[in-house]
A and B are shown apart, each in its own frame.
Chain A
Amino acid sequence: MHQPGKWWVGLLPIAALWVLANGVRTESVEVEVASRAQAVLAEAPDIASEMKAKALGRDVRLEGLEFADGDGTRMAQAVDRANGVRLVDWRLQRVLPARPFEFAATRVGDELRLTGSVPTPVIRGRIVTMAKENAGGKSVVDALAYATGAPNGFEAIVAFGLGEAAKLDGGSFGIVDTGYSISGAAVSFEVYDAAIAATKSLPAGLQLAHAEILPPEIKPYRWDASSDDKSVTLQGLAPSDAIRTEIAATATRLFSGRAVVNRMRLARGAPNGDFARAATSALTELAKLADGETTMTDGELSIRGHGSAAVTNDVVNASVRASLPEPFKVGVVDIIAPYAFKIAKGGGRVVLTGFAPNDAARNDLASAAKTVFLGEPIENELANRSDAPAGLVNAVKALFPSFARLASGSLTSEDMVFNVEGLAIYEKAANEIKLELGRALARGFKLGVVSIGVAPPPPLLEVNECQPAFDGMLSKGRILFETGSANLSKESLALLDHLIELVRRCREASIEVAGHTDSQGTPELNLDLSQRRAEAVTSYIGESGVDTVRITSVGYGETKPVASNDTPEGRAQNRRIEFVVK
């Protein structure tokens, strides 16, 4: 017969067994319960992936993040239905909105680091996957935190940004609310253009906050410009948009009236130094040329083109060396400038400028000028340049007598072409000078523009001022004739024209043109020759349009010497024409 009243004796070993069982098995039961709860959570990753189940006995506590109101309740109910779970409670932290909502994907070293906020675990997972696809071999570091408040289309925005940043070396992007920023270096012009274009077509709702996209690095670094009479074309590389704009503006200013074609591209790798100033220096020289090109390759500047009389190789070389900033260097300067010469008469002086082949030629030209320009001071500013056209010096000298007849003007040459402009003393002289210039022109040379007018009549002189004026003029030169004849020498026409000017100014004076000879030959022949020479001068004056009624021609032969006829110098002084105011 059972004796329940005695069964209490077994309670002690049962109690011991209970204590032992609890001590041995409790933790493993808790592990099992937590595992079952975790399995339930895993079935709802969109809301429960940041939840964690902990078990105490068969009771479960849910901890972690709740992304939306009610998520905790729903998951607790689901876990509560799991086999083995006795009770469920939850202590979940509600994910809060981020103000502002920030996200960034930054390439640092070998890492693509994701920082900022992400709204849900599902989006986070997809973003990390996208980041790995766009990491380009870099490891993806997920340092994101959960927050609500993401802009609309956040996932698409991140996909766009990751894709764009992946195209760039060191590409990074980020958003602050709807402000989009991107940085990195393009490896080619195509990538650069595409990246810049992408910043102008952002996903809907996104605004560009900051773009720091570096252009590709190019070696050798070349910039160049070329010009003609219609346009200037800027090409090659510029280190920044600001410098590119500055260079274009400089070209517009320097090449006023010409079209500026800007084809410069941005690129890194420019030489150190003030690139814009170097380009300005190059453009300044280029603007001086009729046409040409300038190239700057890795800091070495070269200029080629056609200059002008004033813009020669040496001028451009000196100018560019003076203006080019360090560390830029001058390379080839190859300016083809016309071989220019100019003689200008006016203001009581004669100025020679331009080039002569050498010192001897310079002195020769100055000496010839001194002979024909009636004692006017000669300012010789000629420079030596050896590549003169053949026969230039003689060609110039041949034109001097005709040019000297002008009251004022200039004779210029560029290579083989002469141009003359000026004012003749009287109209007939103007026509004669034009003809004489043509006749005196050396073979191979051409006359370009010949523009000769007539100078306005100078003020009249009082009669008592006339004799000193004639004497002064004749002291500057002598009227010469062909040997033994009364034919006027061409070299004397300039002097005669200036004497005609004085005759015109001495309208009230009666003038005697007196001819004299030396003692060579018979007195009768000398008397006749002096008479014919005086008449020839008077005739020349008359041909200029001056009324010669008040002019008498008298030949004195050898009767009035002013120097000894025993020496050549004395005889030369005795062969003369004098203007005597009566």
Chain B
Amino acid sequence: MLLDLASYPAWLVAALAIGAVIGWQTYSDAPRRYWRDGWIVWGAIAFVIGVMLAALKLLPGRYGLWLEIALLMSVFYIVGCFVGGWLKSILVREPVARLMPDVKDRQTGSAL
């Protein structure tokens, strides 16, 4: 697996980036749907099965390698989604919150 990480760094970073973009785009204040709805369950099941197949080395040759890469990219993607959402939560909401003190500072300054 370390060889996979060493051999596909740019590709995994790309998956991370795609995840970050998707996480950023989908991050919103809308109420989150219940987690068992939609693709998450099936995706999680598929991932677990994939991990088991990889751990048990049930797929031979290139299929085994490709499975490992698929799992790694999936992980990096999901992590990217969380990172993207987190960044948005920081970079997009925080400035709004920080504007208020800036106004206050200017008001305070003018008051001075």
Contact = CB atoms under 8 A, between A and B. Distances in A.
Interface string B47-76: 000000000010011111110111001100
Contacts of A8: 38-39, 43
Given A10-B77, A59-B61, A18 B69 contact: yes
A86 B64 contact: yes
Contacts of A3: 26-28, 30, 32-33, 85
A8 B33 CA distance: 14
A26 B18 contact: no
A528 interface: no
Nearest to B68: A58
A2 interface: yes
B18 A5 contact: no
Nearest to A24: B11
B37 A5 contact: yes
Interface residues of B, number: 46
Interface string A23-45: 00110111011000000000000
Nearest to B89: A1
Interface in B8-30: 8, 11, 14-15, 18-19, 21-23, 26-30
Contact of A7 (B31, B64, B69, B78): B78
A24 to B, nearest CB: 8
Contacts of B40: 4-5
A203 interface: no
Interface of B is mostly: helix
Contact of B60 (A4, A33, A59, A84): A59
Contacts of B82: 2
Contact of A10 (B18, B38, B68): B18
B3 interface: yes
B78 A29 contact: no
Interface in A13-65: 13-14, 17-18, 20-22, 25-26, 28-30, 32-33, 56-59
Contacts of B7: 25, 28-29, 32
Given A3-B30, A25-B8, A58-B3, A10 B19 contact: yes
Given A17-B73, A32-B3, A33-B3, A7 B22 contact: yes
A369 to B, nearest CB: 124
Contacts of A18: 66, 69-70, 73
Nearest to A7: B81
A14 B23 CA distance: 14
Contacts of B64: 57-59, 86-87
A10 B43 contact: no
B38 A5 contact: yes
A17 B65 contact: no
Interface string A405-441: 0000000000000000000000000000000000000
Lowest 7 A-B CB distances belong to which pairs?
A: A57-B65, A84-B3, A10-B22, A56-B61, A21-B11, A6-B26, A57-B62
Given A5-B32, A57-B62, 18 more contacts: A2-B32, A2-B82, A3-B33, A5-B37, A5-B40, A6-B26, A10-B22, A13-B18, A14-B18, A14-B77, A17-B11, A17-B18, A25-B11, A28-B7, A29-B4, A30-B62, A58-B64, A87-B57
Interface of B: 2-4, 7-8, 11, 14-15, 18-19, 21-23, 26-33, 35, 37-40, 43, 57, 60-66, 68-70, 73-74, 77-78, 81-82, 85, 89
10 contacts: A1-B29, A3-B27, A5-B32, A8-B38, A18-B66, A21-B73, A25-B8, A56-B61, A58-B3, A86-B64
